């Protein structure tokens, strides 16, 4: 019996080991088809771990610098379990090859139809094939993920925003998370702006400040 330790995912990807409590099947399905879906249902999605891509991925996930492409693929292996057994238990990927540019490991992800698994494949596709279009944000006060320059590029950016719970916020000395519904998109494509009708028990709020006003005045509206 092997005494090797099980693979441990980087902290920003912990949640991918379990299905989210809520997934928007239609939205995820359309996103998957537009961005990561193979050209036809018979083809697979390739994740190619070259040394160059490994360096980028290690920076994104804040991993140790000594990881080879094969070991990096092995580290993410819990996310591959639902598609194809391409990784050895010892950690190095089967089919790892040496190229002129160094080691290369290729993982094939078979086409899938469930939204929970499509979300995992989208995350893997962005991490390996579109690293400049993904953000793993643990501090919501950072501004880069809200930068119009990042938002406006194609393909659509993929954002994983980690918000602190009450205990975590207290330990870190940061404000507790408050989720406020801004808008809702319905199955028929209509969008309803909810923030304009918010009522926290003190009556209907004053009109939302015009977009021509300063951000400071809009921030004050939210605080009030």
In a domain, 70, yes or no: yes
In a domain, 37, yes or no: yes
Longest dimension (CA), the chain: 68
In a domain, 76, yes or no: yes
**Which DSSP string corresponds to 145-207?**
GG-HHHHHSSSPPEEEE----HHHHHHHT-PPP-----EEE-TTS-EEE-GGG--SSS-SPPP
In a domain, 1, yes or no: no
- 49-63, 151-165, 177-191, 197-211: lowest mean pLDDT where? 197-211
The per-residue pLDDT for 140 is: 81
The per-residue pLDDT for 150 is: 92
Query: Which residues form the domain of 123?
Result: 11-129
Residues 38 and 125 in one domain: yes
Averaged pLDDT, 39-56: 76
Residue 92, pLDDT > 60, answer no
By the 8 A CB rule, do 109 and 84 touch? yes
- 34-48, 82-96, 137-151, 157-171: lowest mean pLDDT where? 82-96
In a domain, 143, yes or no: no
Residues 186 and 119 in one domain: no
In a domain, 162, yes or no: no
Residue 80, pLDDT > 60, answer yes
Residues 15 and 106 in one domain: yes
Residues 20 and 125 in one domain: yes
Higher pLDDT, 118 or 92: 118
Instruction: Specify the number of domains making up the chain.
Output: 2
Residue 73, pLDDT > 70, answer yes
Residues 110 and 218 in one domain: no
Averaged pLDDT, 72-94: 55
pTM of the full predicted structure? 0.69
């Amino acid at each position: 019996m092997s005494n090797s330790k099980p693979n441990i995912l980087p902290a920003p990807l912990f949640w991918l080991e379990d299905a989210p409590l809520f997934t928007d099947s239609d939205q995820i399905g359309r996103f998957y088809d537009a961005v990561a879906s193979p050209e036809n249902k018979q083809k697979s999605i390739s994740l190619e771990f070259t040394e160059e891509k490994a360096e980028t991925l290690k920076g994104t996930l804040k991993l140790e610098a000594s990881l080879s492409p094969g070991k990096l693929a092995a580290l993410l292996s819990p996310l591959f379990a639902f598609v194809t057994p391409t990784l050895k238990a010892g950690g190095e990927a089967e089919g790892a090859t040496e190229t002129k540019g160094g080691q290369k490991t290729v993982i094939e992800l078979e086409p899938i139809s469930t939204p929970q698994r499509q979300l995992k494949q989208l995350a893997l596709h962005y991490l390996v094939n579109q690293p400049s279009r993904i953000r793993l944000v643990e501090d919501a006060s950072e501004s880069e993920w809200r930068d119009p320059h990042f938002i406006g590029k194609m393909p659509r950016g993929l954002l994983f925003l980690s918000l602190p719970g009450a205990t975590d916020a207290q330990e870190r000395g940061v404000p507790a998370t408050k989720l406020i519904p801004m808008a809702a998109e319905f199955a028929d494509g209509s969008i309803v702006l909810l923030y304009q009708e918010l009522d926290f028990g003190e009556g209907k709020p004053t009109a939302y400040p015009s977009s021509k006003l300063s951000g400071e005045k809009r921030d004050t509206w939210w605080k009030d």
